[in-house]
Amino acid sequence: MSAVAAYRALLRIVGPAYIFVAFLGRIPLAMSQLGVLVLVSSTTGQYGVGGAAAGILAVANAIGSPLAGALADRVGQRPVVLVQSLVGAAGLVAIVVVTQPGASQAAIFVAAGVTGLAIPQVGPLARVRWRPITRDEGDQRRLVDAAFSYEGAADEASFVLGPALIGVLAIAAEPAGALVTAAALLAVFGSWFAIHPTSALVARNTMRGGQGTDPLWAGPFVVLVAAQLCIGTIFGSVQTGTTVLATADGQAGIAGLIHAVLGIGSVTAGLAIAALPERILYATRQLVAALALLVLTAPLLLVDSIGSLVVVIGFLGFAVAPYMISNFALAGILVPLHRVGTAMTLLAGATGIGYALGASLAGRLADESGHRPAFAVTVAAAGCAVLLAGVANKSLRNAVPVAQL
């Protein structure tokens, strides 16, 4: 089955409405961090407070998502995601309400933390649904492969579109209006994703899996968590280095647009990777993608202008989605069905923690010596990804596919 045929089959199986809802359901998370940063910074006049609020939201989401994923594995996605969507939407509105000139920083931080804990990770949870959705179809391996490729591309597209929406809406409706729009999207499409009939398929399959031995902290899955920590560090350090260089060039406002170029390349590669033959194992794909990350990040140490940065970032994007797709696909294979929701959200949480780590470390180095030390963090993280993939390749290739037993 060709990649195009696989994508068409997936669309036929679930219908275009599900694809639309699952994509829009993940947009609010992509909007929330930048939206909070812009709103709080512009209202209080303190970028430090805005950055802290956005960071609290991101870290809280990284912590809360695996907990919600574990609960969804136990009771099903429908009630968990529905509550998350409604509470998360209310939390975004609460941030708008408490963020006033002279407002208590503690109130802003608490609202951001609660909101971060509540917002659902729709992308990872959507990945959980594809195996039960396609279980009665022929060539399921090819269909799931295509589904994971699409999900990786959709995640990247959401993190391009989300910040862009914040930028447009902040101009048209003020920062508060942008965040309220994110709340409305979450309330409508997050809830719709929760109650979609595919959620019942996940509940039936995960609950049927029983309570066997928990493999999450066995070697292979720990490797995948560490791998996502590496890619998150790359994201955070690249964004920081880009901001530093753009600011030094007197064009701080285009930093977000430059970073979006990475997402464009990643979306393209994510959709194309479904064309790879099945005989190329995910462990091999992970190793090759990690090597590509190292090769394509190395030129960041040489960039000295916006133009050269855009070119390097554009090529780097082509390695990002294949690496992440391989990690999530391996988790989907190696983890039992009754633990897949926990596994997927743990990987997403590790990405968020890595982002915070990369941004923090790169920011401190950039304060002292500019953009090159920030990008050195990016290259170092890519080097760690290569080392990790190389050392773990044999164990990942030989790991028993528990989820398919």
Cα angle 144, 145, 147 (rounded to 5 degrees) comes to: 60
Contact 365, 374 (CB under 8 A): yes
Provide the pLDDT for residue 266.
86
More confident residue, 277 or 129: 129
Provide the pLDDT for residue 208.
46
Question: Which tokens sit at 223?
Answer: 């490797």
Of 130-144, 164-178, 209-223, 295-309, highest mean pLDDT: 295-309
Provide the pLDDT for residue 390.
94
Contact 305, 181 (CB under 8 A): no
Provide the pLDDT for residue 30.
86
Same fold? 1-208, 212-405: yes
Contact 40, 53 (CB under 8 A): yes
Q: For residue 54, what pLDDT band results from cuts at 50, 70 and 90? A: confident
> Which one, of 69, 44, 21, 11, lies nearest residue 328 by Cα?
69
Res 311 pLDDT > 60: yes
Q: Which residues, other chains included, contact 307 with Cβ-Cβ below 8 Å and sequence gap of 6+?
A: none
Res 24 pLDDT > 60: yes
**DSSP helix/strand/coil, 101:** coil
Res 212 pLDDT > 60: no
- Tell me: the pLDDT tens digits for 336-348? 777 788 888 889 8
Q: For the structural domain made of 212-405, what CATH number should be given?
A: 1.20.1250.20
> Which one, of 17, 29, 16, 62, lies nearest residue 350 by Cα?
62
Question: Which tokens sit at 34?
Answer: 């930048």
Q: For residue 298, what pLDDT band results from cuts at 50, 70 and 90? A: very high
Q: What's the Rg (C-alpha) of the chain?
A: 20
Domain 1-208 maps to which CATH number in 3.30.565.10, 3.40.50.2300, 1.10.150.120, 1.20.1250.20?
1.20.1250.20
Question: Which tokens sit at 396?
Answer: 């990942």
Q: For residue 257, what pLDDT band results from cuts at 50, 70 and 90? A: confident
Taking residues 174-195, what's their average pLDDT?
94
pTM over cut 0.85: no
Domain extents for the chain? Answer: 1-208, 212-405
Provide the pLDDT for residue 207.
46
Provide the pLDDT for residue 402.
54
Provide the pLDDT for residue 102.
82
Provide the pLDDT for residue 388.
94
